[in-house]
Amino acid sequence: MSTATEKEDNDTLSNLPPFYDNLHKTYITSLASKIDKPTSYEGAVMEHLRMSGVYWSITALSLIRSPQEVDELMGLTTTPTTSQDDKRPSIVDWVFACYDKDSGGFGGNIGHDGHLLYTLSALQILAIANKLDDERLNVEKVSQFIAQLQQPDGSFAGDGWGEIDTRFSYCALSALAILQKLPSPEETDGIVDVKKAAEYVASCKNFDGGFGCVPGAESHAGQIFCCVGALSIAQSLHLLDADLLSWWLAERQCDSGGLNGRPEKQADVCYSWWILSALSILGKVPWISTDKLGGFILQCQDEEDGGIADRPGNMPDVFHTFFGIAGLSLIGYLNRVRIDGEEDEEERRVYRKIDPVYALPTDVVERLGLSGQIMSRDVGKSKEEDEINERLKMYCVLKDKDEKKGLS
């Protein structure tokens, strides 16, 4: 028997726009020509972080298109482009052109210094392209680039200039895992000290259960994903307070259904990924309304040109397009909503799922044999969690009633 809440959610879904699958594909693939123009807006703002932009684009396409179609759309091939072909170099060729031989890492664009952020993006692109065995990838040198950035306290700098941030802890552990070079937490003579890396991340935990960029810094949803993801890869989720952190994350859902990054901020599509991925790892996705969140993301689509914006009515960009699609993937939403107005079940596309730990399609994660710790509500505190869930539901009901009274 369906509840009044379920009926209300279904009524809400029927009034939402469809998922504009084909428009998003067109939007993403059109960005390449715009970014190539140095005088264009897209070219100017993406110049320093193009590696991440390519990762966002390819991963978004990978979730809504088959691997074969992604290969065709993005030129994922190791065959060198000849002048006779008169074609664009493949994405793989471009990635290797961004390799910084001096440092051993990858830069955000050709000629840029190596950095952990862009090294991870480069490896994620190569993983999707199934080109991690390319002879141009010097696994040992890239691994050493990452390892030398670990500090005595277990933290990681982003590059040789020394900025410390928990984002870099996640990037380092994720990149080493992709390279099959990550030691176990028990190893004391590995290329990096995973146990110490996890302990540093845990030292960034705040009284509210969240995490900041360094010890004592304000809790922020983006940093929380990085910390939870790093602890998951390090098999060290026991170092966080799952219930307290999950409450903080659940509190980020706004009246619009969207999620914000910290208290008193507006909802933003990108947090659909940062918060959902963390809740997925913690086994607490039911603590928020995924239907309302899915509706918020769909309303942020550009119905004319494709792409997804930070919030309804704003201009789309590839960053929010990726995180919006990733959020819909995490909650299994894409296979439940209308696609470009299609109503026939047989016409619905089968979408690839995204892994909440590695931010890669799950089939890629399985192919590489990557592992990450995921909490299950069926283990340990199931009765206590059920009680917390009931209190959370009651809180949401009372909150909705108060809001309706205020509007009447």
One-letter amino acid identity for 197?
A
Which is more confident, 381 or 328? 328
What integer best gives the mean pLDDT of the chain?
86
Question: For the segment 282-304, what is each residue's pLDDT rounded down to a tens digit?
Answer: 999 999 999 999 999 999 999 99
pLDDT at 237: 98
Question: What's the domain range around 166?
Answer: 139-236
Q: Are residues 295 and 259 in the same domain?
A: yes
Share of the chain above pLDDT 70, in %: 77
Between the CA atoms of 382, 219, 48 and 107, what dihedral angle is there, to the nearest 10 degrees? -60
Residue 87 is assigned to a structural domain of this protein: yes
- Catalytic residue (one of 25, 265, 349, 353): 265
Q: Are residues 127 and 156 in the same domain?
A: no
pLDDT at 9: 47
Question: Exposed, middle or buried: residue 184 (CB in 10 Å: 0-12, 13-18, 19+)?
Answer: exposed
Among the three residues 120, 137, 154, which one is the final residue of a domain in this structure? 137
pLDDT at 390: 53
Which is more confident, 30 or 78? 30
Task: Please spell the DSSP secondary structure of 339-384, one letter per residue.
Answer: BTTB--GGGSPPPPPB-TTTSSBHHHHHHHT-------TTSS-HHH
pLDDT at 391: 52
Among the three residues 100, 120, 137, which one is the final residue of a domain in this structure? 137
Judge contact between 367 and 358, C-beta under 8 A. no
Q: Are residues 366 and 278 in the same domain?
A: yes
Residue 6 is assigned to a structural domain of this protein: no
Residue 398 is assigned to a structural domain of this protein: no
Give the Cα separation of 165 and 46 in Å (integer).
Answer: 22
- Catalytic residue (one of 115, 131, 320, 352): 320
Q: Are residues 263 and 358 in the same domain?
A: yes
Q: Is the per-residue pLDDT at 359 higher than 50?
A: yes
Active site residue 171: no
- Catalytic residue (one of 317, 333, 351, 358): 317
pLDDT at 337: 52
pLDDT at 68: 86
Active site residue 220: yes
Q: What angle do CA 172, 178, 180 make, to 5 degrees?
A: 100
Give the Cα separation of 221 and 257 in Å (integer).
Answer: 16
Question: For the segment 209-247, what is each residue's pLDDT rounded down to a tens digit?
Answer: 999 999 999 999 999 999 999 999 999 999 999 999 999
Q: Are residues 250 and 210 in the same domain?
A: no
Residue 33 is assigned to a structural domain of this protein: yes
- Catalytic residue (one of 220, 252, 292, 352): 220
Question: Exposed, middle or buried: residue 319 (CB in 10 Å: 0-12, 13-18, 19+)?
Answer: middle
Residue 10 is assigned to a structural domain of this protein: no
Active site residue 167: no
Q: Is the per-residue pLDDT at 323 higher than 50?
A: yes
Q: Are residues 39 and 128 in the same domain?
A: yes
Among the three residues 212, 236, 260, which one is the final residue of a domain in this structure? 236
Active site residue 115: no
Q: Are residues 187 and 258 in the same domain?
A: no
Q: What angle do CA 311, 165, 225 make, to 5 degrees?
A: 45
Judge contact between 233 and 268, C-beta under 8 A. no
pLDDT at 153: 98
Active site residue 36: no
Share of the chain above pLDDT 90, in %: 70
Count of the separate structural domains present in the chain: 3
Judge contact between 272 and 259, C-beta under 8 A. yes
Q: Are residues 89 and 201 in the same domain?
A: no
Residue 403 is assigned to a structural domain of this protein: no
pLDDT at 155: 99
Question: For the segment 382-394, what is each residue's pLDDT rounded down to a tens digit?
Answer: 445 555 555 554 5
Active site residue 48: no
Question: 3-state DSSP call for residue 106?
Answer: strand
pLDDT at 37: 61
Residue 395 is assigned to a structural domain of this protein: no
Residue 156 has phi, psi (to 5 degrees) of -125, 140
Question: For the segment 85-142, what is each residue's pLDDT rounded down to a tens digit?
Answer: 445 678 999 999 999 999 999 999 999 999 999 999 999 999 999 999 999 999 999 9
pLDDT at 115: 98
Q: Is the per-residue pLDDT at 402 higher than 80?
A: no
One-letter amino acid identity for 113?
D
Q: Is the per-residue pLDDT at 341 higher than 70?
A: no
Question: Exposed, middle or buried: residue 182 (CB in 10 Å: 0-12, 13-18, 19+)?
Answer: buried
**In this structure, what DSSP letter does residue 288 have?**
S
Residue 343 is assigned to a structural domain of this protein: yes
Q: Are residues 117 and 155 in the same domain?
A: no
- CA 225 to mean position of chain CA atoms: 8
pLDDT at 71: 86
3-state helix, strand, coil in the chain (%, to 5): 50, 5, 45
Q: Are residues 297 and 351 in the same domain?
A: yes
Give the Cβ contact number of residue 17 at 10 Å: 15
Active site residue 310: yes
Q: Is the per-residue pLDDT at 207 higher than 90?
A: yes
Q: Are residues 127 and 149 in the same domain?
A: no
Judge contact between 21 and 339, C-beta under 8 A. yes
What pLDDT band is residue 152 in, cutting at 50, 70 and 90?
Answer: very high
pLDDT at 172: 99
- Catalytic residue (one of 21, 159, 268, 302): 268
- Catalytic residue (one of 9, 100, 291, 310): 310
Q: Are residues 251 and 344 in the same domain?
A: yes
CATH code of 344's domain: 1.50.10.20
- Catalytic residue (one of 271, 333, 351, 358): 271
- Please list, in sequence order, all residues whose beta carbon lies within 8 angstroms of the beta carbon of residue 307, skipping any fewer than 6 positions away: 23, 24, 27, 28, 301, 316, 317, 318, 320, 321
pLDDT at 80: 44
Active site residue 204: no
